[in-house]
Amino acid sequence: QVQLVESGGGLVQPGGSLRLSCQSSGVALDHFAIAWFRQDPGTEREGIACINYGDDRTYFTDSAKGRFTMSRDNAKRTVYLQMNSLKPEDTAIYYCATDTNYVCTSDSFAGLVGWLRFWGQGTQVTVSS
């Protein structure tokens, strides 16, 4: 049902910033929590952040806390991931995902990769000198 498209990835030097966007192609996101995941080749896809619907509460893994923030613009059907102080280990393909009954309530993303049904195609983030 929900179709998500990520954008904003690219090449950035260590310490730089990027803002990723996750936009719904036609379906309103007012009542959808959105989670961000990332994956390097040969590694497991890991959840890093999420934003809830209604209260816009956000949660981040330890690797992202203090550097990443999330926000949303429901009128634009878009969720944003602002990434600052980027490190080489942040290099990965970044995906956004959601589901009709997903609630962002903690910084634990265990099991969500196999549970969330709606995913974007991913956008590449490369942090290198």
Query: Is the Cα dihedral 83, 88, 90, 94 positive or negative?
Result: positive
The gap between the terminal CA atoms of the chain, to the nearest Å, is 40
Cα angle at 34 between 26 and 124, to 5 degrees?
85
The pLDDT of residue 42 is 86
DSSP label at 123? E
Instruction: Note the pLDDT tens digit of each residue in 16-41.
Output: 999 999 999 989 999 999 999 999 99
Q: Count Cβ atoms below 10 Å from residue 76 Cβ, excluding itself.
A: 12
Residue type, 96: C
Percent of the chain with pLDDT over 70: 100
**pLDDT tier, 70 (very low <50, low <70, confident <90, very high otherwise):** very high
Cα angle at 36 between 31 and 38, to 5 degrees?
160
